[in-house]
Structure 1
């Protein structure tokens, strides 16, 4: 950052969990800086953060040595400590990744090796008897147990992070949409719905709007964001205790998402989902959720059509669960037969801000682009919430390394 003792002005765009974590980290590491946290909504956690499953991922699936693997493992420790200090829910209920056949069991072995390489504590392979010892209602030929997987209330965590920013004397500017970012040698100008503001530097944590703000600020148009929605259902109260923790399928390498799974919430309710299908908007959480501008942008993206061509079979499978609650619950019954006959209520959906390159490949790892004065988080899907405090730590330390380490 800049000279010692100087009052540098820094804006963080986006008050989801990552943006709030970045603003808090700046306020702690650079006490002389003036930090402004900006969001277009009237409350923090209005988008991805407030519409997810609440799972604290242990780091099972990610490429060893990559940012996801490293920041997920660091993020788990930071998040657990933060929740403990603030008295926020943090329930280590554990997770089973369940294989239904020998082919899935083979893939499960690869995930186990990744988990070990990533330093995930307590993981072990289980046979059918081991599965029922932990989850009497679950069924499979083998499973990977992750006892440290937890559940939290990410919206409450985000509110606590934002409160820390404000209590440290910094500003939270809500109901303020950033329309344009102009970077010059002497600073950064933001055009917003509340007027024009100037800052010494800006960090953009804009989720589903990341590519638009980056491109508008002069950065590359790629990777672009292609939104995928995930539908959740809340099981009826009689099934609250059907599982002790979480039950996940073995990921299909032909499709880039996990598939329908069962997730216990921090309040004891049991959810089924999400599936994953193309969203008709970037921010439509209810009903059809159609935004013509968003949909047109996706449909005119050549990379999307390349992706679709490679994943048509899986898309058809997912479409069945989108159209039919019965089919959705039937997927879950493969792992928990006791759900036969269960009913569930459709919940608000989540929308994943997934970055995609021009070839149609999904950007797998976290992606952070550094300009002279503007930093863009271009890709931070799951485990982004789990990793949020570690992402903040990583970004702020990277910015400090570019200068003399003080602000």
Structure 2
């Protein structure tokens, strides 16, 4: 039977970042259900290296983003991973959004960002001639990268350091033992001193399989993207974001230059009917039943029903999606858009219906369960990984 000090469930960027932080202090094994790492949230996002502008000062997201952003830039440079610290614009399209823009500027300063510049409407247009707005922020620390490439580099470093990354190995449950636990997987049993749950979309289920009540329910939200056709790519030079709704952990549809070329538009945020529901027609009876029997889900739905309807409408109507983009760049034509991919975000929802907005980690004897790792989890993966690794090492004694 394979034995290891730390067994990490989940081969996404947070699980791999944690394993990387542990390799010189313990033996590590990562198991991943899919045949390759980074197949879900890590491989289906917009590839933005976040600055830390949005997060509540003093929160775990704010702390780990600032450190993790610079660690990631350094990692990419040292490992020849293509990336670009290109900066972004946050645009207030009318005067009603100015107070929220002021708050973002205050938060950015409180979070230690040095590359924030307040812009007038004319200054916005000097940088992005096709943008419509009355004011904005330029944030120099923001960048772009392919996170799947980053995760694959993490995996290579883990194996080079003597760790193991086992794909095609689904976690089925675990049995406690006097000096650790035995995990059952589809690739056979594994014995470990400690388990770290970084299963993302399935983190609450993995916790229950371990006999731990997670205290939250994972609700999947699908984010759908379009791309600008090559003829329209000149309309966007940077990353261009709207002023977000402070009540929601989503940033609104925006324009994102991609590290491999092209400009991506989106995402929206619509309820997915399956935890891996990348298409509108994807549905799972089990996943839907879990939502239907979750009081927290219904409380959340009552609170945000109007927002949810608007997102669903924009999901079903390309024209509605286009109109949302035109608020930032009026010259975008309906025929400039072509459907691109989609991602599914694991959003933890508390029993009272509140959307868990920060990292949420629950510890149990010989276990660490990462139950909510929202954006900027990919940006901060090296920093978060170090924090989780310290928890794991303390649990090991």
**Which category of TM-score, normalised to the shorter sequence, fits these structures?**
over 0.9
- The match for 2:236 is 243
Q: How many residues align?
A: 395
For structure 1, list consecutive stretches of 5 or more residues without a partner in the other structure. 1-6
Cα distance in 1, alignment partners of residues 206 and 314 from structure 2: 33
Cα distance in 2, alignment partners of residues 315 and 170 from structure 1: 43
Do residues 148 (structure 1) and 144 (structure 2) align? Answer: no
Look up the SS of the partner of 1:12 in the other structure: strand
Cα distance in 2, alignment partners of residues 36 and 97 from structure 1: 41
Cα distance in 2, alignment partners of residues 133 and 23 from structure 1: 45
Contact 1:89/1:266 (CA < 8 Å) preserved in 2?
yes
Q: CA-to-partner distance for each residue in 1:315-361, whole Å, 9 max, x for gaps?
A: 12212210111110110111011213443222221100010100100
Shift of 1:258: 1.6
Do residues 206 (structure 1) and 199 (structure 2) align? Answer: yes
Residues 243, 181 of structure 1: CA spacing in aligned structure 2 closer, same or farther, 3 A cutoff?
same
Shift of 1:367: 1.0
Look up the SS of the partner of 1:353 in the other structure: strand
Once the two structures are superposed, the pairs formed by residues 3-402 of structure 1 within 5 Å of their partners are 9-28=5-24, 30=25, 33-402=26-395
Cα distance in 1, alignment partners of residues 39 and 6 from structure 2: 22
Q: CA-to-partner distance for each residue in 1:216-247, whole Å, 9 max, x for gaps?
A: 21222421101111001111111222211111
Shift of 1:268: 2.1
Contact 2:365/2:395 (CA < 8 Å) preserved in 1?
no
Residues 217, 364 of structure 1: CA spacing in aligned structure 2 closer, same or farther, 3 A cutoff?
same
Cα distance in 1, alignment partners of residues 366 and 17 from structure 2: 19
Shift of 1:402: 4.8
Greater Cα shift, 176-185 or 316-325: 176-185
Moved segments of 4+, more than 6 Å: none
- The match for 1:4 is none
Shift of 1:182: 2.8
Cα distance in 2, alignment partners of residues 180 and 55 from structure 1: 34
For structure 2, list consecutive stretches of 5 or more residues without a partner in the other structure. none
Shift of 1:284: 2.2
Cα distance in 2, alignment partners of residues 201 and 353 from structure 1: 24
Shift of 1:8: 5.8
Q: CA-to-partner distance for each residue in 1:195-225, whole Å, 9 max, x for gaps?
A: 2221111111100000001122122242110
Contact 2:214/2:371 (CA < 8 Å) preserved in 1?
no
Shift of 1:34: 2.0
Shift of 1:254: 4.1
Shift of 1:121: 2.2
Look up the SS of the partner of 1:241 in the other structure: helix
Cα distance in 1, alignment partners of residues 175 and 233 from structure 2: 51
Cα distance in 1, alignment partners of residues 117 and 212 from structure 2: 44
Look up the SS of the partner of 1:231 in the other structure: strand
Contact 1:285/1:349 (CA < 8 Å) preserved in 2?
yes
RMSD over aligned Cα, in angstroms? 1.5
Cα distance in 2, alignment partners of residues 376 and 341 from structure 1: 44
Q: How high is the TM-score relative to the length of structure 1?
A: 0.94
Contact 1:235/1:342 (CA < 8 Å) preserved in 2?
no
Contact 2:194/2:396 (CA < 8 Å) preserved in 1?
no
Q: How high is the TM-score relative to the length of structure 2?
A: 0.96
Cα distance in 2, alignment partners of residues 192 and 345 from structure 1: 40
